[in-house]
């Protein structure tokens, strides 16, 4: 939630001059994004987000992330579209960082989504899975099952300071999830981080799917499990079954689940919970 | 440079419904403002800044600050105009804080202004001084000469950790400035904090004077001294006389200085430097 990299006037002018987006009217750092630095840019041609990629996003991965956003936007998904510069590149360098200019999407991220919002996000997720199927670049999931033991090892030492007994419970869960992890499920491009802060709404309609910087190839049903975890639990940790059903129904209206996917869903949800517990403990 | 107060969806909806500014399209925290929390708000009616006043701004002072912005905007100054709610109030409460909706002004604050920019800011400052003369609310300067000894006392203990010998040097300067401080100069409403981050430009034109939360009644020439200090020194601490002349010329074209004001200017500049040294050391 911070501006990690400051941009000088000269750097901004030189950077914007390489794009065909008119002249700068406003440029303000946004207190959003845990990973990257984001600026709100208003020019005579429109409104944009300028993202400076900090150390966690590898420049090598940008063609995948930015290409995917273009691909999904072309397929009609409400994804912010990267703007290419005069050289035709979707990313360049600004203030010593890889950076991109991305179309600004209106909408609000919701802290307390209703069942109606869950239905809409389920449908949007399924559309994303269908639209990603002919995207040609591959990116394995660096934070899938095979990456969890290292995260666990790194977080093990201080884990019990988060909650007593957490390390032992997590170790047992990791063992069991590893042993029983579903394999061979329908896979393709997944968002992998579709929490409430990465979906914008205007009223009940999804107006934006954002922050594709964990997107990768993995099981579609795993992405659905991440969403169920992120959208359908109440602040007291109880599962809201109305929201869960609405999210699933929204998804199934667009993309039916196979029998194997349905059976796998509870274990995938346990794995998803474990993945975010481990990365947050690590951070 | 942070969002100190989070606003929930429900709080935002209830708050915006008390204004006639259409429906919310976007609401993002801005990484600006050392004192307050600022959000960029886009509605179907336009673009706004929503400011939540944190502890340093007293709610009692808001009628002065917001009334002044309205007054100056009506006089043609490029000041952001507060939006009044359906009850006619320029401020209300949001997320437990006093808050205001303020018209969004385009423009960039410059980290490296040129002499041309200094000329423009001098002229804008003089126009502000003239336009403020018939503003009816009074607010004494809480951070003028009489407030400095307390700030010095509070910063004295750890001051030498900033720079060796700083405390003794500051004490001598405070004594001398107190002894020789100019009195009886032409006074009225001053901005009192017109640093580069509080002036927006589009090209060479001033498009916005912002952040009036130190505005108060004091000597006009003291405000000019603050600007000279803030705009006309180089990163190596040298005084750029070209910029200094440009700023003064811009000011004098709009409001001539009396002989007494000219004579007082060097001492006022020393006082202005001391005031910002003391508040920064205190913070």
Residues B65 and B168 in one domain: no
- As a whole-number percent, the residues of chain B with pLDDT over 70 amount to 99
Structure tokens at A213: 């910087």
pLDDT category at B207 given cuts 50, 70, 90 is very high
- Mean pLDDT (whole number) for A64-71: 96
Q: Touching check for B235 and chain A: CB below 8 Å?
A: no
Asked if residue A167 belongs to a domain, the reply is yes
Q: Tell me what pLDDT residue A218 has.
A: 96
Give the end of a domain, one of A54, A79, A103. A103
The residue among B27, B30, B31 with the most chain A CBs within 10 A of its CB, best to mutate, is B31
Residue in the structure block whose two tokens are 């032409």: B186
Question: Do B169 and B155 meet the contact criterion of CB atoms below 8 Å apart?
Answer: no
How does strand B216-219 pair with strand A46-52? unpaired
Domain holding B162, by residue range, is 115-282
Question: Do B262 and B224 meet the contact criterion of CB atoms below 8 Å apart?
Answer: no
- B3 CB neighbours in chain A (<8 A) are 1, 31
Q: Tell me what pLDDT residue A194 has.
A: 97
Asked if residue B53 belongs to a domain, the reply is yes
Q: Touching check for B32 and chain A: CB below 8 Å?
A: yes
Residues B273 and B144 in one domain: yes
For residue A28, what is the nearest residue in chain B, using CA coordinates?
Answer: B30
Question: Do B4 and B31 meet the contact criterion of CB atoms below 8 Å apart?
Answer: no
- Mean pLDDT (whole number) for B195-211: 95
Residues B186 and B62 in one domain: no
Q: Residue A201's beta-bridge partner residues?
A: A108, A206
Residues A93-137: pLDDT tens digits?
999 999 999 999 999 999 889 999 999 999 999 999 999 999 999
- Mean pLDDT (whole number) for B225-252: 96
Strands, E assignment, B33-191: 37-43, 46-52, 82-83, 92-94, 97-103, 187-190
The total number of structural domains in chain B stands at: 2
Residues B153 and B270 in one domain: yes
Give the end of a domain, one of A103, A128, A150. A103
Q: Touching check for B44 and chain A: CB below 8 Å?
A: no
SS3 A218: strand
Radius of gyration of chain B (CA): 20
Q: What number of other Cβ atoms are within 10 A of residue A63's Cβ? A: 14
Residues B121-169: pLDDT tens digits?
999 999 999 999 999 998 988 888 889 999 999 888 888 888 889 999 9
Asked if residue A119 belongs to a domain, the reply is yes
47-66 in chain B: CB under 8 A from chain A: none
Residues A237-261: pLDDT tens digits?
899 999 999 999 999 999 999 999 9
CB-nearest partner of A9 from B8, B110, B202? B110
CB-nearest partner of A40 from B1, B40, B107? B40
Q: Tell me what pLDDT residue B33 has.
A: 66
CATH number at residue A58: 3.30.200.20
Residues B147 and B53 in one domain: no
Strands, E assignment, chain A: 24-30, 37-43, 46-52, 82-83, 92-94, 97-103, 187-190, 199-202, 205-209, 216-219
Q: Touching check for B75 and chain A: CB below 8 Å?
A: no
Residue A34 has pLDDT above 70, yes or no: no
- As a whole-number percent, the residues of chain A with pLDDT over 70 amount to 99
Residue B2 has pLDDT above 80, yes or no: no
Residues B71-96: pLDDT tens digits?
999 999 999 999 999 999 999 999 99
Q: Is B2's CB within 8 Å of A3's CB?
A: no
Asked if residue A2 belongs to a domain, the reply is no
SS3 B12: helix
CB-nearest partner of B3 from A1, A9, A111? A1
Residues A94 and A200 in one domain: no
Run of H or E residues at B186: none
- As a whole-number percent, the residues of chain B with pLDDT over 90 amount to 81
Distance (Å) from the C-alpha of residue B106 to the closest C-alpha of chain A?
5
- Mean pLDDT (whole number) for A43-72: 93
Q: Touching check for A204 and chain B: CB below 8 Å?
A: no
Dihedral sign for Cα B215, B218, B221, B222, please.
negative
Residue in the structure block whose two tokens are 């802290």: A111
**What 8-state DSSP symbol labels residue B197?**
G
pTM score above 0.90 = no
B174 vs B99: CA distance, rounded Å: 36
Distance (Å) from the C-alpha of residue A42 to the closest C-alpha of chain B?
8
SS3 B190: strand
Residues B56 and B139 in one domain: no
Residues B93 and B173 in one domain: no
Distance (Å) from the C-alpha of residue B114 to the closest C-alpha of chain A?
12
B205 vs B111: CA distance, rounded Å: 15
Asked if residue B224 belongs to a domain, the reply is yes
B276 vs B194: CA distance, rounded Å: 12
- A43 CB neighbours in chain B (<8 A) are none
Question: Do A106 and A207 meet the contact criterion of CB atoms below 8 Å apart?
Answer: yes
Distance (Å) from the C-alpha of residue A154 to the closest C-alpha of chain B?
30
Q: Choose among A202, A243, A201, A192: nearest CA to A251.
A: A243
Asked if residue A254 belongs to a domain, the reply is yes
Q: Is B32's CB within 8 Å of A28's CB?
A: yes
Asked if residue A3 belongs to a domain, the reply is no
Residues A53 and A93 in one domain: yes
Q: DSSP secondary structure string, B198-245?
A: GEEEETTEEEEE---TT-EEEEHHHHHHHHHHHHSB-TTS-B-HHHHH
- A110 CB neighbours in chain B (<8 A) are 9
- B22 CB neighbours in chain A (<8 A) are none
CATH number at residue B191: 3.90.1200.10
Q: Is B9's CB within 8 Å of A111's CB?
A: yes
Run of H or E residues at B280: helix B259-282
Residues B83 and B155 in one domain: no
Q: Touching check for B111 and chain A: CB below 8 Å?
A: yes
A19 vs A12: CA distance, rounded Å: 11
Give the A:B interface size as CB pairs under 8 Å: 69
SS3 B108: strand
Residues A16 and A73 in one domain: yes
Structure tokens at B208: 């916005």
Give the end of a domain, one of B103, B133, B152. B103
Q: What is the dihedral of CA A76, A78, A80, A82, to 10 degrees?
A: -10
Residues B195 and B57 in one domain: no
Asked if residue A1 belongs to a domain, the reply is no
Residue B3 has pLDDT above 90, yes or no: no
CB-nearest partner of A31 from B3, B26, B104? B3
């Amino acid at each position: 939630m911070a501006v990690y990299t400051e941009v000088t006037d000269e750097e901004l002018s030189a950077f914007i001059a390489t794009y065909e987006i008119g002249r700068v009217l406003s440029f303000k750092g946004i207190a959003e994004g845990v990973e990257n630095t984001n600026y709100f840019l208003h020019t005579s041609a429109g409104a944009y987000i300028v993202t400076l990629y900090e150390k966690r996003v590898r420049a090598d991965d940008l063609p995948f992330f930015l290409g995917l956003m273009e691909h999904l936007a072309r397929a009609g998904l409400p994804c912010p579209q990267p703007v290419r510069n005069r050289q035709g590149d979707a990313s360049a360098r600004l203030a010593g960082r890889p950076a991109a200019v991305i179309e600004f999407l209106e909408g609000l991220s919701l802290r307390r989504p209703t069942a109606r919002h869950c239905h809409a996000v389920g449908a949007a997720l399924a559309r994303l899975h269908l639209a990603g199927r002919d995207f040609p670049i591959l990116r394995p999931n660096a934070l899938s099952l095979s990456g969890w033991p290292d995260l666990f090892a790194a977080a093990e030492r201080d884990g019990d300071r988060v909650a007593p007994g957490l390390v032992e419970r997590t170790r047992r869960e990791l063992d069991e999830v590893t042993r029983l992890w579903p394999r061979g499920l329908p896979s393709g491009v997944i968002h992998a981080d579709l929490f409430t802060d990465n979906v914008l709404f205007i009223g009940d309609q999804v107006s934006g799917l954002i922050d594709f910087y964990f997107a990768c190839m993995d099981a579609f049903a795993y992405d659905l499990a991440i969403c169920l975890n992120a959208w359908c639990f109440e602040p007291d940790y109880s599962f809201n079954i109305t929201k869960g059903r609405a999210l699933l129904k929204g998804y199934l209206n667009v993309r039916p689940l196979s029998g194997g996917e349905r059976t796998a869903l509870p274990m995938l949800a346990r794995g998803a919970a474990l993945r975010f517990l481990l990365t947050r403990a690590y951070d």
